Amino acid sequence: MESGDIKKTGLVVVLSVLINLIVFSGLNLINLQFTDAVESSEGVMIAENIASDEVKTVLLQDRSDNRFKLVIQSTERLVLSIIYEDAYTEYDLYVNGQLKGQNHNQTARKEIAYDVFEIEKNDYQENDGIGIAEIELVKSAPIAKPNNEVAFIIGSKDEVRDSLGLRTMYNTVMFIFFGMILVVSAIAYYKDRVSYMRILLLLSIVAVIKSMIIGELPLFRDLLGITSGNYFYYDSVTGIVSFFLCQVLFWDLFQFKVKKVTAILYLGIFVTFELGYIVTQYLALLVMMHFIGSLLIVIMGAQAYIKGNPYSLLLITTYSIFSGTVLYRILITVGYYSRGYISEMVFSPQIGNLIYLSSFLFVVLMTYINKLEAYRKQEITDEKIALIRGISHDLKLPLSIIKLNNQMIEKYEITEAEKKEYAKTSLEATLELEKMTDNINCYLNTEILVDTDYQTSVKNRLIMMKRQYENYGKMHSINFVVEISGEDCFLPIKPLHFDRMLYNLVDNAFKYNKARGTVWVRYKADKEITLSVEDNGIGMDSEFIKRIFEPFFRIDVSKRKEGTGLGLCVVKVIVDSLNGKLQVESEINRGTIIKIILPRV
């Protein structure tokens, strides 16, 4: 590895570590700022310390064997509502020795992730004129984490109800955002079904399901059959699958090189550790896999950055934000950071998930757009190559005619009549060359066709066309008719470009017409300008109609005619520049109608 690569790798690692530190430290500061912790002395809290418009947090330490106790004292026997977070674990809750609520597998509650219970006036016991409500929470199974603590959110009924309303609103908004990402991902996958689009779509689906679980939205909760008894498994599986898909997307998007044996070995370790966490709920397994997976993502991001991938730092940054929100949740769970109002009411990894999934969507879409742009540039290159080939091929015939005629005149004794005939065919070949070069020049300069300084009269150009083609039609035994209806209109293009647009259609109508046939040019000015060129000639199959405006496309029968195959393409270029549209109707041996419909300026 070169020194420059080492510096770039170090930059990615330092960036990731710093963002993680900033995120989980910043979240902790926000939590402390908005957490109004009620003072309690050895688990005793004075209810009157909570005003009617306040919601406060009280932290309870594990006294012994997963038993948590809080004594509420109130001279006025205030009615309080209490939110208990992490209520998907098995527990029994007692008030003054009486069972107030519980959660076990056989009595799993539909209210997932948290529980709400109330302390009524009759829940207090008299003690020297003071009402006493002794709350004891007993967790049935030991939790494998240090510094085990429980957080209660306490306030009046109305304030607690408002807090839960805000929590539901927050989760609903997050669900809508994830749903929008899912819709965009589905459309992107429909447009381009490459592997990274498919992975992004799966990530979006998992994120939406995760949002349903976290949001405690009753409709989705019942639809998925989620209760407090199986909430942990839904939560864990969706989180693990999302984390794994994230690594796969990094690998696919950045085209990370890894041996097949190594990938299988890593997958086996990942699945083993995560299944171990789901079965045992031992947090150390989750932390270990989070660290290993994050390290792998940083390595892939560093390699992409070294290779010059323009989006590598963006994805590393947004993933590090997500990683920081997950670490903050883990640090709270293990007791390193204290629980509080914000940490209990807002699921921080959901915010991080939204940020990094949005960045993934952006990068995937930009990758798709860049790929389309690369295709477009390649098509332009191919068109140029085809143009050169087409020009070299199509110019051979008129050039050969001119060359042969000159050789005949120069080397052989020929009559004056023969000289005139050779001169005539040479002139026709020269005119054909001129027409070809005009079309090629127009095709290569499409961006300068429209010019508001020009006001070309449609009627004047049609009258001139009529004079030019009437004699030409008589020479070829074809009747030429021009029909003008409505007032004159003006177009912001040079007369030369207007003529080329219409003349190419008229030339084709003459070229592919029948003997003693008719060519009609019709003009009508109403809400739109309509120009149509119609013939009663040989027509064409419907399968060719959509392709006749493609550069260099020529129907089999037309390949016997002279031309570069650019005539109709030039027509389309000019019509497009005027924001118009083309309509084609054709039938074999019945003729063809091509309409130009232009907006009035």
**pLDDT digit string, tens, across residues 372-404:** 888 777 776 676 666 566 556 566 667 777 777
Residue with tokens 């086996």: 268
Residues 599, 580 contacting (CB under 8 angstroms): yes
Distance CA 433, CA 189 (A): 48
At position 583, the amino acid (one-letter code) is Q
Residues 300, 309 contacting (CB under 8 angstroms): no
**Is residue 580 over pLDDT 80?**
yes
119 pairs with which residues across the strands? Answer: 80
User: Phi then psi for 445, rounded to 5 degrees?
Assistant: -130, 50
146 versus 306: the higher-pLDDT residue is 306
DSSP at 482:
E
Question: CB atoms < 10 A from the CB of 359, how many?
Answer: 19
| Structure token pair of residue 132 | 């006493």
Residues 250-274: pLDDT tens digits? 888 888 777 888 888 888 888 888 8
Q: What integer best gives the mean pLDDT of the chain? A: 81
Residues 528-549: pLDDT tens digits? 999 999 999 888 887 788 778 7
Give residue 22's pLDDT band: very low, low, confident or very high (50, 70, 90).
very high
Distance CA 209, CA 444 (A): 52
Give the pTM.
Answer: 0.64
Distance CA 293, CA 287 (A): 10
Task: Please list the alpha-helical segments (H only) found in 512-566.
Answer: 542-545
116 versus 400: the higher-pLDDT residue is 116
**Is residue 241 over pLDDT 50?**
yes
Helix (H) or strand (E) holding 528: strand 528-535
Per-residue confidence (pLDDT) for residue 581, from 0 to 100: 92
SS3 (DSSP) at 38: coil
Per-residue confidence (pLDDT) for residue 530, from 0 to 100: 93
Give residue 183's pLDDT band: very low, low, confident or very high (50, 70, 90).
very high
Q: What is the mean pLDDT of residues 104-127?
A: 80
DSSP at 589:
T
SS3 (DSSP) at 156: coil
Number of continuous H segments (helices) and E segments (strands) in the chain: 16, 17
Q: What is the mean pLDDT of residues 417-438?
A: 76
Pairing relationship of beta strands 591-599 and 490-491 according to DSSP bridges: unpaired
Per-residue confidence (pLDDT) for residue 559, from 0 to 100: 43
Give residue 558's pLDDT band: very low, low, confident or very high (50, 70, 90).
very low
| Structure token pair of residue 103 | 């959660």
Those residues with Cβ within 8 angstroms of residue 8's Cβ, 6 or more apart along the chain or in another chain: 302, 305, 306
**% of the chain at pLDDT higher than 70:** 87
At position 219, the amino acid (one-letter code) is L
Distance CA 348, CA 326 (A): 7
| Structure token pair of residue 253 | 């998007």
Measured between alpha carbons, how far is residue 304 from residues 260, 358, 365 in Å? 20, 19, 18
Distance CA 295, CA 273 (A): 16
User: Phi then psi for 142, rounded to 5 degrees?
Assistant: -65, 145
**Is residue 597 over pLDDT 90?**
yes
Residue with tokens 């009663």: 536
